[in-house]
Structure 1
């Protein structure tokens, strides 16, 4: 059981780190770059990136992180490592609520609305669309990045308690 818990704990940290890195990259480079581009280009680029993210490489980190964290918490609990189980469970709850669910309830609908928007030829119209989208999207992405970073830190605490 010890090797199972150890393997799951490493997997939890890797998954949590992957999704944190994904959201963090959007915070510190991708959106800032798009905000500096021609808004017509930014809209088209964001539409393309949102369409491409639905893939088998992204799926495990985004959707399976709370399951892996929860499974690690259960394995730690049943192996008598209650303190570690607590931290893995807390990490799962934080990411589930403020990473996965927030994305599905806020960012995905925003992305779908942008995908349904034709890129206007008029730069002023495109600027208005992009500014309204980008500002709101970035606020919620910062919440996702922060929550994912907290989940990663909590998973690391779980590992330290093993």
Structure 2
């Protein structure tokens, strides 16, 4: 592999790994912690986290992962390295559909709906709001976690395939 191909492949894997790790952390710690606390605190905390995630640090991993994968695929394809190019395309499509588009069409609207809810003083009312939100949100987060993990695996396969003569 050329230096350009190697660099792009590694950067693609780093981007996939960053977004996979972000989604995975929500699965195995953040949401479990919120579910275990007072639902009024969980609602307020989730509102704060959702408000803070729109930042320059999160942006590249979330929005640019499919771009980096597509650029990498294009370079491999133009160099007549169709097998690794195909794996990078597959990684980009999986993340694009089941990571980015899923988030924008399901999780973000859920987050926006939660953002406008005033945290109720009544713990039972808060518990109902939180349980309705958390269960559905976690299901879709698990889908995007698996998808981003699959994208990472596909990019790794592409790297291995690209390293073969």
| TM-score, length basis structure 2 | 0.97
Match of 1:87 in 2: 87
- Superposed CA RMSD in Å reads 0.8
Name structure 2 gaps, 5 residues minimum.
Answer: none
What secondary structure is seen at the aligned counterpart in 2 of 1:161?
Answer: helix
Superposed, which structure 2 residues align to 1:1-162 within 5 Å? 2-162=2-162
Name structure 1 gaps, 5 residues minimum.
Answer: none
Structure 1 position 151, deviation (Å): 0.2
Runs of 4+ off more than 6 Å: none
Provide the rounded CA distance (Å) in 1 between the counterparts of 2:111 and 2:5: 37
Provide the rounded CA distance (Å) in 1 between the counterparts of 2:5 and 2:68: 11
Provide the rounded CA distance (Å) in 2 between the counterparts of 1:125 and 1:8: 50
Provide the rounded CA distance (Å) in 2 between the counterparts of 1:4 and 1:59: 24
| TM-score, length basis structure 1 | 0.99
Q: Does structure 2 conserve the Cα–Cα contact (< 8 Å) formed by 1:2 and 1:79?
A: no
